[in-house]
Amino acid sequence: MGNYRFILSGGGTGGHIYPAIAIADELKRRHPDAEFLFVGAEDRMEMEKVPQAGYEIKGLWITGLQRKLTLKNLMFPFKLISSLLKAGKIIKKFRPDAVIGTGGFASGPTLRVASGRGIPCVLQEQNSYAGITNKLLKDRVAKICVAYDNMDQFFPADKIVKTGNPVRGDLVENFKDKSEALYHFRLDSHRSTLLILGGSLGARRINQLVAENLDFFKKRDIQLIWQCGKLYIEEYKKYASDTVKVLDFVNRMDYAYSAADIIISRAGAGSVSELCIVGKPVLFVPSPNVAEDHQTKNAQALVAENAALMISETDLDTQFEAEFAELHQNEDKKRELGANIKKLALPNATSDIVDEILKLVS
């Protein structure tokens, strides 16, 4: 067969965009002459991130439905029709061999049109609770790649393949020596190190929690790598010191993970998949502001396996100090959580997803 042509669609958040880019990169590695086109939602972050990764992207005029009656909801039928028509033109012109959807608004119209024209389609669902777009597409696609067990409550069992979520290759391949990692951050090898992750933009409530507890950490001789996010760096950089490294963004996540003894993190699907590979004790503080409360469900799936701890934002004031102090002091508990979360890792996810795609087109 000649050169393969692939359309990838997904976006709105990094959790949908980066898996799509990882899949495209692996397809390109195996088939250097393949052609790629991404389809995203106009004015969303994929229109910036995908070209930065070296791929062409087309935008659809599409947004999700709001939970309350708004003018945007009244516009939704017009946006949907517009997106279906534009997706049809894109697919007719590009003639893909397969279309891959990673969730988000734009993947709905794109995969709906492609499947209707008999083009093989694959879904990749990152979360333990399926997103609405993927649930609507479930009967129209050939394969659904998932990261959690029990996904047959959302999807036809015969289409499900448990692959895991794509994670950045440097994490799987380049885990660093701890002393080298601590030196990178200019931290003390005799102190315990806490890594705080709130996502690239930052997590307001986690940042507040850390600021409120700096004395608590200091009394326990804990040093911090605190990724507060670019939205909050101006507010929190004043807390930086020899033992508190305040960063808007962590460029060397391999070093950050290697340096950490305990990690506090949001529970987005990509973060959870990375943390499974890292195999360190994690305390999740899920964001309550995401669709269908995905993050809480992701964290609960790990808590059920005794692979992580979780505190909801509303319980931080009453529970954080006691739960964190208990974890910090309990070496057996730390080892147990680290070992259990690592058992859930699926480091070959990207490769396994691409295997499923290539089976359909070959």
Residue 258 known to bind ligand: no
Strand partners, 194: 224, 262
Q: Which of 215, 218, 348, 222 is nearest to 283 (CA)?
A: 222
Residue 15 known to bind ligand: yes
Q: Which of 266, 19, 262, 329 is nearest to 146 (CA)?
A: 19
DSSP percent split of the chain into helix, strand, coil, nearest 5: 50, 15, 35
Radius of gyration (Cα) for the chain, nearest Å? 21
Q: Which of 298, 345, 353, 359 is nearest to 124 (CA)?
A: 353
Q: Which of 202, 257, 247 is nearest to 226 (CA)?
A: 247
Residue 116 known to bind ligand: no
Residue 140 known to bind ligand: no
Tokens of 234: 């101006």
SS3 342: helix
Cα–Cα distance for residue pair 111/6, rounded to 1 Å: 12
Residue 200 known to bind ligand: yes
Q: Report the side by side order of strands in the sheet with 192-197.
A: 244-247, 222-227, 192-197, 262-265, 282-284, 309-310
Cα–Cα distance for residue pair 233/246, rounded to 1 Å: 8
Q: Report the side by side order of strands in the sheet with 57-60.
A: 57-60, 35-41, 5-9, 98-101, 121-125, 143-146, 160-162
Cα–Cα distance for residue pair 339/211, rounded to 1 Å: 30
Q: What is the DSSP letter of 177?
A: P
Residue 13 known to bind ligand: yes
Cα–Cα distance for residue pair 269/124, rounded to 1 Å: 12
Q: Are strands 192-197 and 160-162 parallel, antiparallel or unpaired?
A: unpaired
- Known binding-site positions: 13-15, 127, 168, 200, 295
- Known binding-site positions for UDP-N-acetyl-alpha-D-glucosamine: 13-15, 127, 168, 200, 295
